[in-house]
Amino acid sequence: MTYIHDTIVRLQKTSPAQAEFYQAVEEVLDSLQPILETSEQYKRHAIIERIVEPERQIMFRVPWVDDQGNVQVNKGYRIEFNSALGPYKGGLRFHPSVNAGIIKFLGFEQIFKNALTGLPIGGGKGGANFDPKGKSDGEIMRFCQSFINELYRHIGPTTDVPAGDIGVGAREIGYMFGQYKRLTGNYDGVFTGKSLLWGGSLVRKEATGYGCVYFAQYMLEAKGDTLAGKRCLVSGAGNVAIYTIEKLYQLGARPVTCSDSSGTVYHETGINLETLKELKEVRKVRLNEYVTAHPEAKFIPAADYPADGNAVWRIPAELAFPCATQNELSEADAQALVANGVIGVSEGANMPSTQDAVEVFLDAKICYGPGKAANAGGVATSQLEMAQNASMQRWSFEEVDEKLKVIMKNIFLSASGTAAEFGEPHNLVLGANIAGFRRVADAMIEQGVV
């Protein structure tokens, strides 16, 4: 435990006020104790000291002009964390909560998530404290162009390939790619999550949600169970949540919740996917309008949530899919889920469960798929998009979906096999962290002190 304490203390001095980053590092290092105690080479090569420090941190201002002619300024980030396995790969997040600590935690998690896929991609993340909500298309375009005026110097199809994240969809990717192309004169696969019209991949939009459900399916199958007939809780109402719900229906489950910052919808007979897509993908409005179309459903305002957690996790169900944001599921939420009979949790968001909540799940020995394993389908399909761009091909929906299923199964087998190797077969947190770490660390050792 000394090296964990020493590492966190050092990071608190060198990277102050980055609580989410410390949390992510501590969670990973705690899982790595068994391998660090038996593998002297990782200490000799100072792998921990090197892997917790990004290879490069890019921070810059983003000035842009709003529709009233006023100059606005935001802060932009790109953390190129680790390239031992391939080009930096990870999304861009546009949200007012974005800061250096958030981006570093996301980038650190991305290293191990990308390693677990088995694909040749390193870890990175980026974004800005810009809020696309309430902005016109013209304002979003001008912001994206200004953002890329700085970032274009640091990205490329074999160096750093950003994608979307919260607040960044095909529209934003389009504006950024257009400016990149204008500045460089290159038409290459420098972004993923592109429109299908000009190099995007089928299934990319659905991939994180689909993959999260596939991971749950494999966890249950290993216990001799299935998704069919299971009552499911889903948080969030963005891309990940919507396509988690879609795949749950396809595999015979019944998702009964979704949520956004305004509150939670609870629909006992099952969330109406058509209505949800209309509200969130077309009209882009708050979820409280869901009950207008479905008065039999219940809307729980965020103001009515319990003080120690989130209303979505207090509804009885068998499976839970946190698909909103980091630290959305508290220890009290986890205790409520276990008390209500949940048998599995598969994380669609990045680090959505607090460390105390994770301990509750592990102690209860339920099926628990941590985000870096369960939500890796998004980045895996991004790499499949890179492969299609490089070969100038377009694969069918069925081809990409089948490849996604195989990747998610391999991630599950890698995490579960590693967990069993270290004597904790139910602990996929340990299994995922060690499996991802070993792949990255061994590559770092082979490539020398760089």
Region 384-388 average pLDDT: 95
Query: What kind of fold does domain 2-188 have according to CATH?
Result: Rossmann fold (3.40.50)
- Reference 315, options 332, 337, 298; nearest CA is 337
Could you read off the pLDDT of 217-258 as tens digits, one per residue?
Answer: 999 999 999 999 999 999 999 999 999 999 999 999 999 999
Percent of the chain with pLDDT over 70: 100
pLDDT exceeds 90 at position 5: no
Percent of the chain with pLDDT over 90: 97
- How many residues comprise the chain? 450
Could you read off the pLDDT of 275-322 as tens digits, one per residue?
Answer: 999 999 999 899 999 999 999 999 999 999 999 999 999 999 999 999
Report pLDDT for 440.
98
- Reference 260, options 247, 271, 248, 249; nearest CA is 271
Q: Is 126 in contact with 151 (CB distance < 8 Å)?
A: yes
Q: Mapped to the 3 state alphabet, what secondary structure does 238-279 carry?
A: CHHHHHHHHHHHHCCCEECEEEECCEEEECCCCCCHHHHHHH
What's the pTM value of the predicted model, to 2 decimals?
0.92
Using only C-alpha atoms, the chain has a radius of gyration, in whole angstroms, of: 21
- Lookup: tokens for 135: 């902005």
Return the number of other C-beta atoms located less than 10 Å from residue 355's C-beta: 14
Expressed in angstroms, the distance from the first to the final Cα of the chain is 27
Region 161-180 average pLDDT: 96
Q: What is the phi/psi pair of residue 127, to 5°?
A: 155, -165
Region 76-85 average pLDDT: 98
Instruction: Provide CB contacts within 8 A for 393, sequence distance 6+.
Output: none
pLDDT exceeds 90 at position 430: yes
Catalytic choice (125, 194, 205, 280): 125
Residue range 207-365, CATH number: 3.40.50.720
- Interhelix angle 377-391/207-222, rounded to 10 degrees, is 120
- 374, containing H or E segment: helix 371-374
**Does 125 qualify as catalytic in the annotation?**
yes
Report pLDDT for 1.
60
pLDDT exceeds 70 at position 330: yes
Report pLDDT for 8.
93
CA–CA separation, 132 and 95 (whole Å): 7
Domain spans of the chain?
2-188, 207-365
Instruction: Provide CB contacts within 8 A for 121, sequence distance 6+.
Output: 85, 86, 87, 89, 114, 161, 379, 383
C-alpha distances out from residue 388 to 43, 158, 186, 241, 384, Å: 39, 14, 17, 26, 6
Secondary structure of residue 407 in the 3-state scheme: helix
CA–CA separation, 299 and 294 (whole Å): 10
pLDDT class of 394 with cuts at 50, 70, 90: very high
pLDDT exceeds 70 at position 131: yes
**Vertex 433, ends 427 and 439: CA angle to 5°?**
135
Q: Please check whether the two domains, 2-188 and 207-365, share a CATH topology.
A: yes
If you average pLDDT over every residue of the chain, what do you get? Answer: 96
pLDDT exceeds 80 at position 3: no
**Vertex 151, ends 150 and 155: CA angle to 5°?**
145
Q: What is the phi/psi pair of residue 74, to 5°?
A: -120, 175
**Vertex 92, ends 158 and 242: CA angle to 5°?**
115
